[in-house]
Structure 1
Amino acid sequence: MTKTTPATAFLKRKNVTFETLVYDYDPSVSKLGVHAAAGVGESTDYVFKTLMAEVDGKPVCVVIPVARELSMKKLAAAFSGKSAKMMKPADAERITGFRVGGISPFGQRKQVSTALAREALELPYILTNGGGRGIQVKLAVADALEAMGGGTADLLASAD
């Protein structure tokens, strides 16, 4: 039995069907999302990372595939802004109520505008952080979008 996190409690309150998967979190790895995918035995195509950023100084949340990079230009455009930057880890922890490495798009302390990478629409389900280090939640893309209260957007840097 996995302990309840603010994210899983939020999903339960919203009556969202999800599965919780746990893995051994290792903070020393360079790509935590890729490590999470391997830890739960899923392709990196299905595992998404939660990033906290700022667009024109306002906090936003984006959820993108773990093996891909975020385009700051596309991020700003997705939220009708002029400039975007990654949020400082301490600010992300304060706003979300989660620790870096365990930030979930669900059940954040402060609701902020959220966008899911449009590539998710091609998938039957995604996995994203379940509100704790070493915890992933697996849910249908439509359910994830509804629970996030956001939309989809073109967010990814071009793959080389």
Structure 2
Amino acid sequence: MAKGTPATQALQKAGVAFTLHEYDYDPNAARIGLQAAEALGLDPSRVLKTLMARADREPVCVVVPSDREVSLKRLAAAAGAKHAEMLPPAEAERITGYHVGGISPFGQRKRVRVFVEQEATAHATVVLNGGRRGLQVEISAADLVALLGAAVVSLA
């Protein structure tokens, strides 16, 4: 069933139910999350993007609907930090073990705090990256939060 990514392996190990969705990844898409939603024919608010940021000096993972932007000010406040910034792609790849466009919050190389936009939990199930470009996993919003030990906050 799983495509053998660290993300799908982490989900299997945790005993969490999930469904795989594959699509033709477009490396030239302006917004990868929106491209995935369109390719899969799903509401962009259900398709979540995984972003890597830094709150003061601490790397953090941020999961938000693909049609929303993260307020770095709100992220900093949620993390108890003075400021927040997005990580450069190379640093995000080094920390997660994934390539940009394929970063999943599951099975990352280094465990970091995770923040999930509260609007994402309004859906019974959500779709997010499965650990490689063109692979998405559908999971219950409750399992997403529980498995990651995520803080559910307003980030947009």
The question of 1:85 aligning with 2:85 is answered yes
For each residue in 1:33-91, what CA deviation from the matched residue of structure 2 results, as whole angstroms up to 9, or x when unmatched? 10000111211010000000000111000000101100010000110111000001000
Aligned to 1:148: 148
Point out where structure 1 has 5 or more consecutive residues left out of the alignment.
Answer: none
Larger deviation: 69-78 or 144-153?
144-153
Identical columns (%): 48
Aligned to 1:71: 71
**Matched residues in 2 for 1:121 and 1:135: separation?**
21
The question of 1:47 aligning with 2:47 is answered yes
* SS of residue in 2 equivalent to 1:120: helix
Aligned to 1:62: 62
**Matched residues in 1 for 2:90 and 2:102: separation?**
13
Structure 1 residue 28, shift from structure 2 partner: 0.6
**Matched residues in 2 for 1:143 and 1:49: separation?**
16
Task: Report matched runs for 1:8-157 at 5 Å.
Answer: 8-156=8-156
**Matched residues in 2 for 1:155 and 1:7: separation?**
24
The 3 A distance-change label for structure 1 pair 27 and 103 is same
Runs of 4 or more, structure 1, over 4 Å off, are: none
Give RMSD over aligned pairs: 0.9
**Matched residues in 1 for 2:91 and 2:109: separation?**
12
**Does the 8 Å CA contact 2:102/2:130 hold for their aligned counterparts?**
yes
* SS of residue in 2 equivalent to 1:38: helix
**Does the 8 Å CA contact 2:37/2:47 hold for their aligned counterparts?**
yes
Point out where structure 2 has 5 or more consecutive residues left out of the alignment.
Answer: none
**Matched residues in 1 for 2:121 and 2:29: separation?**
29
Structure 1 residue 2, shift from structure 2 partner: 5.7
